[in-house]
Structure 1
Amino acid sequence: MIDVAHPYFDTNLSWLSNNYRLLLEANDETVPVRERLRFLGIYAYQTKEFFRVRVPNLLAMAEVSNDIRTKLNLFPDSLLEHIYETIENQLTEFNDILTGRILPAMLEQGTHLYYREPFAPEHLSFLRRFFIEKVFRYLQPVFLDSRRSFKAPIFESKQLYLVVRMQHKQDQEEDWYAIVNVPSETVSRFVELPEWDGKRHAAFLEDLIRDNLPVLFPGYLILESYTVRVERETELAIEDEYPMQLAQRILKQLEKRNFVQPAQYFYESGMPLYMREYLVSKVAIPMNDFHERGDYLLMQDLAAFPSLSKKLDYPFQRPVLNPNFDGQTSVFESLQNADQLLHLPYQSYEPIVRFFNEAAVDPHVREIHVSLYKISPNSFILNSLISASRNGKRVTTYVELNTKLDIQENLQWSKKMRDAGVKIILSVPGLKVHAKMALVKRKVQKGWERYAFLGTGGFYRLTSREIVDHALLTSHRELTNELELLFGYLSTQDEPKKYKYLPFNYLYVTQFTLQKRLLDLIDREIANCNAGLKSFITIKINQLQDHILIDKLYQAGQAGVPVHVIVSESCGLIPGLPSLSDNVIVSRHVDRYIENTRIFHFGNRGNDEIFLTSCDWTYRNLHRRIDICFPVLDESLKNQMRMVLRNYANDNQKAVRLDVYQNNLRIAEDGKGKVRAQDANYRFVEKIEKNSPVRKAE
């Protein structure tokens, strides 16, 4: 039942609904087999993240006072029960899809994955040699016996282990236990085996180790072995979900109750009770923290299953060259003529590389400012920044150190940049800079020129082939001036309230103007609709959870404004509620590439406005991060974005509609033919290249 007094989907259940959409894609027989494995891997990763991020919060909220839980309409105990049941059902379907659909289909196409089955004699010698030459050196076997105590945690978080039961060959009356790490971060989780019987073969690394345990433990009789892993979350995310005053009240109550987040242990199906009881007694694992989790653990690695045959993959799509960056003309000269928009991954990432490379060597460039949220190894942008600094440019970078994923990598790069003379502005505690932006200042005879990169995604050249994003390159005077103002704030780290009254008329920034501006834009659509003028709202976003903005969208729908929300992750807005949201559509898209774009489109009496952003509508993004939202001003680029959004709206192959119960409902073709947004958008950018004046001139 929907609680009409609190008309929002629960964030946790919405996350699980999105996870189930991934299972639907994995079960789609029109998707190439290896891609279906990839979706199972993404599902497994998302489920692991759910246990790492969401479940600890719920366990913590079960400890706070009833008045807080009532205020939040949150009942953690019953919600957790529902969550565990939902995940259990999904995992059953996960296993059915993998073993009943995907593996047989893969075998029909000539590829075999050993799955809980003995190895063929033809592969045994290869497996033994591979184990000795490639795996043995990384193993760290540890005996668990009554003569040793284990003060430090013996299981490292996120690491896979085998728990082995064995006996001395000379004395088989006593059982011995040991744990062995599975070094899947050093050796590929999937081992490619020699072709045999006309097929390609692969095996799980832990099965290979299992098969060679007698080599690791000579003199012992191996009885059985099962995999285990542990997840430990370092901190709660209470402050990311609730206003500061309420979050501090919750955290204070948890401190008084000495709440400690429990570690979560997962074990392979079939592991007998006596083995779990032995671990409980030996390494102090509470039995209630043990969770059974399928035939194999860490199935997120399916997303990286090796490409053994082109038949198992999507056909290669060549990144289309943006014709306005022809390699002859300077990027900055091109941007003097017009703004440029890149549609990734359909178009080549090279113009972004050139943007930074040219800034590093252009004698007119005096300053470069850039925010870096996450840093990838061998980052092209950091090499360009180091080169620019050594060439005498003033280079300032804002390096985010709050992200848990890349702290060590960021610190290492920070040292390299400092050594080259790059000025590093470290993150403010409790405030992440999530915005993807850069500013280049050139000093020419007529004065200063400013050029900006503004993106919905980051500076990841490698993942730019996997993720759908848009990037705007512009020299627009007002927009770049306001970007310089924002970088000034990041450099001085003044109080955000000082910037609320500054003229951010083009660049909308969380902390300062974004939420208020979005509310104003929605109110304008409501007023236009009431006046009989053209109005509509299309929101394409990853996460939609902010109740203030959701309520405003409800108001727009009630006023008759057509509202279409396109989400790729969680959504708190409930579509189809009578008299509240029956004029609101929520669709979800899952396809070959990961959707990461955030686009806002407002009708505005026929003079429509389109904005791109790096910001989701969540409390964390709107209040505890620096994100940006920027307009697409050039009319030709607006036409491109209109077509992109139209393709999403017409998608009847990879889009689903959400109903009031969060079911993912397929969309009927209704005589329109098959429309698949990502394919349509790729063909569209191909057409842009083909019809450009540059290409026609050639």
Structure 2
Amino acid sequence: MSDAAAEKAIDLSSSEYYINRELSHLQFNIRVLEQALDDSYPLLERLFFLCIFSKNLDEFYEVRVANLTQQLTFAREQTGADGMHPQQVLSSIHALCSATVERQYEILNDTLLPALEKENIHFLRRADWSEDQRSWVRAYFEDSIQPLISPIGLDPSHPFPRLVNKSLNFIVALEGKDAFGRETGLALIPAPRSLPRIIRVPDDITKGGDNFIFLSSMIHEYADELFPGMTVKGCYQFRVTRNADLEIDHDDTADLASALEDELHSRNFGEEMRLEVADNCPEELANFLLKQFTLDTTDLYRVNGPVNLGRLIEVISQISRPDLQYTPFTPGLPKNINFNKSIFESIRDKDTLLLHPFESFTPVVDLLREAAKDPNVRAIKQTLYRTGAKSEIVNALVDAARNGKEVTVVIELRARFDEEENLYLANRLQEAGAVVVYGVVGYKTHAKMMLIVRKEGDKYKRYVHLGTGNYHAGNARAYTDYSFLTGDDSIGEDVHKVFQQLTGMGEALRIKKLFHAPFTLHKKLIELVDRERSHAEAGKPSLIRMKANGLTEPKLIRALYKASQAGVKVELIIRGMCCLRPGVEGVSENIRVRSIIGRFLEHSRVYYFLNNGKDEIYAGSADLMERNLLRRVETAFPIETSKLKERMKSELEVYMLDNCQAWDLQPDGSYIRAQPAEGEDMVKAQAILLETLAASSS
């Protein structure tokens, strides 16, 4: 059989060529956890990675496991390209999570806590409290904890309460009778949600260093005082994780904001997904809790430590140890922008590309601030997805509206876990006089666009900012994202048309330069992949490089498989979930997939095609996933000037050369961390970009 015939004989839709997206997502979380063991990071940053793993896993259960469970509950099972039934996926998740959570607590107890002890940072156990510390804890308990606690005895008139999602609680085994003669034997202590979970001990009652006590330790110590006259036989912490994904029936919703406000109230009391208990909790009590939450033993996690390690992140800001944290740096500023003049002059005829956080987000904010005050600016249009409660961007939009500009803001109310904040921002902007719309029903607005219309002479000139990340100054210091500032007339017209479609109604408008989901982006990306395949088949140079947070869309994956079969070299930098299986003989030998995990969260989306030496590069807001390409409003913008193309190509190249913080995806779905070969220099992409682009570090 010829090679061509063999390729035709391979069914690229076969489930064997696809990795399950949920299990791939878990692999990303595991890579995050592994950073806690990397002693090349400062110690407090390693603790940070451990905490982030906890927070990521919480969200994974709140959203992804919840979705799979609901599919089974309502007989709506969906089998993806990988062919795994939801029940199979859940079984694999439980097995993988069980082993990984156990490893997480081993890392905490056996590695991080001893290392912190050596640095004079202590988490004091009850058995180690000095007399002075014990007296202080008692006073804190009596003054700050006991007045807020409402212990709940469990009996027929006090049924098991509905506990808040991820809240800290204790189940207490009691002996004796209370004042009313009841002898139930069980009670609950919900920890006050207003109190910190970790309390710093005053320096004057310690022997120096940083000393902390867990709230749970204080409640354990004095639990018996909450049940006078009775004997506490055991007190065990636990928490339950619930379905926190909001469901809104768009077909039966007249007012999205009102419907969302109603749903937010119920988020804390969704269906139970996971139970975490202290590892010394007796089996009969753990089974009692499982029964109350209608959970199975596979949903139970026994942990050797606090049930919510994510809250450990609170202590990092309370410890002043610069030697145990990343060296601060000052983001760079673009040389082509003259900050002593109008920013409009700088970007009118010359495109500006910024890579955050190595380069500052300030020019984006400054552009909007200047527009808010400039008497020649007549209109500003902006999309907001995740922005932040104290956003400088929102402040500038409010100022612009109050200054009489025509301000239109498309706020995506359904940005998961930011819904409440976005409702607040929407109200604030409306009160200032801005026109606020919520995008298109059924399609999240995920595009990152700013359009400024300025009167120059007798004409209107459009200025545009397009980005791969959110308009969030905090994220711009922690996420890698591109910003693109331009006065290009065609791009300005395209962005204007996208806003027309978002705020008005009508047929899809013809757009010249941008790719636009859900209309053209998916189709165009596949066309560009197919073009590289055609070049390879014709013996011409070919190369595809794509960088994104996720790759799951089956049609695009099949197009990449076909390109690989034709000999195209395909290099994919996919931070998180990836359903493509690289290195499969006859299918994907020419495809390499790597994930970069480092100081900054890789978030930029870039699509590069060699195009027989006539490079084409696009950056945008969309990951390579079904939801982004088919069910969201997204934009991808071209990088057209040769200087900016060369720059972006070199920045992609450094990610492919990384041999320290890169993880290479294997055909079986596992990842192997890259290591420098003997005698080879260490290459850390983020460190190189920081050195190259940032103004300084100190």
Once the two structures are superposed, residues 494-532 of structure 1 have per-residue CA deviations (whole angstroms, 9 ceiling, x without a partner) of 4xxx21xx3323111111100111011111111222222
The 10-residue stretch of structure 1 (270-279 or 351-360) with the greater mean CA deviation from structure 2: 270-279
Residue 350 and residue 293 in structure 1: after superposition, are their counterparts in 2 closer, same or farther (change >3 A)?
farther
Q: Is the 8 A contact 1:193 1:201 kept in 2?
A: yes
Match of 2:597 among 579, 590, 596: 590
Q: Deviations over 1:244-264 (max 9, x none)?
A: xxxxxxxxxxxxxxxx95543
Of 6, 26, 42, 1:16 maps to: 26
Does 2:395 correspond to 1:403? no
2:537 pairs with 1:530: yes
Partner of 1:189: 197
Contact 1:194 1:200 in 2 (8 A): no
Q: How far apart, in 2, do the equivalents of 1:194 and 1:522 lie?
A: 61
Q: Does the aligned pair in 2 maintain the 1:345–1:467 contact within 8 Å?
A: yes
Residue 569 of structure 2 is matched in structure 1 by 562
Q: CA 1:443/1:91 → structure 2, altered by over 3 Å: closer, same or farther?
A: same
Distance 1:149 1:58, change over 3 A: closer
C-alpha distance in 1 between matches for 2:356 and 2:125: 37
**Alignment correspondent of 2:255:** none
Question: Taking structure 1 as reference, are residues 486 and 577 closer, same or farther at Cα in structure 2, changes over 3 Å only?
Answer: same
Is 1:507 matched up with 2:514? yes
Greater mean alpha carbon deviation, residues 5-14 or residues 397-406: 397-406
1:177 to 2:189 alignment: no
Residue number in structure 2 paired with 1:677? 685
- Residue 117 of structure 1: CA displacement? 5.6
Which residue of 1 is the match for residue 374 of structure 2? 362
Cα–Cα, structure 1 residues 511 and 589, in superposed 2: closer, same or farther, change >3 Å?
same
Which deviates further from its counterpart, 591-600 or 225-234?
Answer: 225-234
Contact 1:38 1:304 in 2 (8 A): no
Find out whether 1:231 has 2:241 as its counterpart.
yes
Residue 419 (structure 1) aligned to one of 405, 424, 431:
431
Q: How far apart are 1:33 and its partner, in Å?
A: 1.5
Matches within 5 A, 1:77-88: 77-88=87-98
For 2:340 and 2:617, the matched residues in 1 are separated by: 31
Equivalent pair of 2:272/2:293 in contact (CA under 8 Å): no
Q: Does 1:599 align with 2:606?
A: yes
Alignment partners' CA distance in 2, 1:439 and 1:211: 59
For residue 548 of structure 1, the aligned residue among 551, 555, 568 is 555
Counterpart in the other structure of 2:311? 301
Q: Does the CA contact (< 8 Å) of 2:12 and 2:561 recur in 1?
A: no
Instruction: Name the amino acid aligned to 1:458.
Output: N
Q: What letter corresponds to residue 181 of structure 1 in structure 2? A: P
Q: Is 2:274 the counterpart of 1:271? A: no
**Corresponding position of 2:651:** 644
Structure 1 position 423, deviation (Å): 0.6
Provide the C-alpha distance between the structure 2 equivalents of 1:100 and 1:388, rounded to a whole number of angstroms. 55
**Superimposed CA distance per residue, residues 579-625 of structure 1 (whole angstroms, 9 cap, x where no aligned partner):** 11011101111001111111111111222122111111111111111
- Return closer, same or farther for 1:132/1:313 CA change in 2, 3 Å cut-off: farther
Q: Partners of 2:280 and 2:435 in 1: how far apart?
A: 55
| Structure 2 counterpart of 1:49, one-letter code | E
Amino acid at match of 1:403: A
In structure 2, the residue matched to 1:249 is: none
Q: Deviations over 1:263-294 (max 9, x none)?
A: 4333222211332455467x564565851241
Q: What is the aligned partner in structure 2 of residue 248 from structure 1?
A: none
Aligned residue for 1:226, secondary structure, equals strand
Equivalent residue number for residue 267 of structure 2: none
| Match of residue 451, structure 2, among 409, 414, 439 | 439
Q: Tell me the secondary structure at the aligned position of residue 509 of structure 1.
A: strand
Whole-angstrom distance in 1 between the partners of 2:441 and 2:13 = 38
List aligned pairs for 1:375-394, cutoff 5 A: 375-394=387-406
- TM-superposed CA distance for 1:425, in Å, is 0.9
1:484 corresponds to which of 485, 492, 496: 496
Partner residue in 1 for 2:163: 155
Retained in 2: the 8 A contact 1:568–1:588? yes
Q: 2-side partners of 1:330 and 1:141: how far apart?
A: 62
- Which one-letter code corresponds to 1:519 in the other structure? I
User: In structure 2, what is the equivalent of residue 347 of structure 1?
Assistant: 359
* Residues 357 and 68 of structure 1, relative CA distance in 2, 3 Å threshold: closer
Question: How far did residue 480 of structure 1 move?
Answer: 1.1
Give the 5 Å matches for 1:39-188: 39-62=49-72, 69=79, 73-114=83-124, 118-136=128-146, 138-149=148-159, 153-167=161-175, 174=183, 176-183=185-192, 186-188=194-196
AA in 1 matched with 2:651: V
Pick closer, same or farther for the CA change 1:114–1:391 going to 2, 3 Å.
same
Q: In the superposition, relative to structure 1, how do residues 209 and 510 fare at CA in structure 2: closer, same or farther (>3 Å)?
A: same
Superposed CA RMSD: 2.9
Question: In the alignment, is the contact (CA less than 8 A) between 1:402 and 1:429 conserved in 2?
Answer: no
- 2:263 paired residue number: none
Structure 1 stretch 218-227 or stretch 411-420: which is displaced more? 218-227
Secondary structure of 2:683's counterpart equals: coil
| Preserved contact between residue 510 and residue 627 of structure 1 (Cα < 8 Å) | yes
User: Do the aligned residues in 2 keep the contact of 1:62 with 1:75 (CA within 8 Å)?
Assistant: no
- Residue 634 (structure 2) pairs with residue 627 (structure 1): yes
Residues 645/28 of structure 1: CA separation in 2 closer, same or farther (3 Å cut): same
Q: Does 1:472 pair with 2:484?
A: yes
- The answer (yes or no) to whether the contact 1:57–1:236 under 8 Å persists in 2 is no
Following TM superposition, by how much is the alpha carbon of 1:224 offset from its aligned partner in structure 2, in angstroms?
2.3
- Secondary structure of 1:458 counterpart: coil
After TM superposition, the structure 1 = structure 2 runs for residues 208-247 of structure 1, keeping only pairs within 5 Å, are 208-214=218-224, 216-233=226-243
Q: 2:98 touches 2:301 (CA, 8 Å); kept in 1? A: no
Q: Deviations over 1:382-438 (max 9, x none)?
A: 221111111110001111122341222222222222222111112333211011111
CA 1:4–1:94: 2 relative to 1, 3 Å: farther
Q: What is the Cα deviation at residue 36 of structure 1?
A: 1.2
The amino acid across from 2:32 in the alignment is L
CA gap 1:508/1:135 in 2 versus in 1, 3 angstroms: farther
In 1: Cα distance, 2:694 partner to 2:330 partner: 10
Give the direction of change, closer, same or farther, for the CA distance of 1:41–1:239 in structure 2 (3 Å limit).
Answer: farther
Amino acid at match of 2:308: L
Q: Note if contact 1:438-1:452 (Cα within 8 Å) is conserved in structure 2.
A: yes
1:447 Cα offset (Å): 0.6
Cα distance in 1 for partners of 2:337, 2:174 equals 65
**Which residue in 2 is equivalent to 1:245?**
none
Whether the 8 Å CA contact 2:445–2:632 is kept in 1: the answer is: yes
In structure 1, give the amino acid aligned to 2:515. Y
- TM-score normalized with structure 2 length: 0.88
Which stretch of the first structure deviates more once superposed, 659-668 or 141-150? 141-150
Tell me how far apart the structure 2 counterparts of residues 198 and 374 of structure 1 sit (CA, whole Å): 41
Q: How many percent identity over aligned positions?
A: 31
Residues 336 and 54 of structure 1: CA distance in aligned 2, closer, same or farther (over 3 Å): same
CA distance in 1: counterparts of 2:77 and 2:408, whole angstroms? 47
1:176: Cα distance to partner? Answer: 4.5
Instruction: Decide which moves more: 319-328 or 582-591.
Output: 319-328
Unmatched 5+ stretches in structure 2? 1-10, 251-269
Q: Which residue in the other structure is 2:668 paired with?
A: 661
Alignment deviations for residues 436-493 of structure 1 (CA, whole Å, 9 cap, x no partner): 1111100121411111111111111122221111111111111111000000001114
Superposition pairs for residues 318-357 of structure 1, below 5 Å? 318-357=330-369
Partner amino acid, structure 1, of 2:587: L
User: Any idea what SS the aligned residue of 1:503 has?
Assistant: coil
Q: Residues 641 and 95 of structure 1: is their aligned pair in 2 closer, same or farther, counting only changes over 3 Å?
A: same
CA distance in 2, matches of 1:3, 1:137: 64
Read off the aligned partner of 1:271 and give its amino acid letter. Answer: C
Of residues 97-106 and 676-685 in structure 1, the stretch that sits farther from structure 2 once superposed is 97-106
C-alpha distance in structure 2 between counterparts of 1:139 and 1:148, whole Å: 16
Unaligned runs of 5+ in 1: 241-259, 691-698
Kept in 2: contact 1:647–1:677 (CA 8 A): yes
1:571 CA displacement: 0.2
* Contact 2:329–2:694 (8 Å) recurs in 1: no
> 8 Å contact 1:267–1:291 — kept in the other structure?
yes
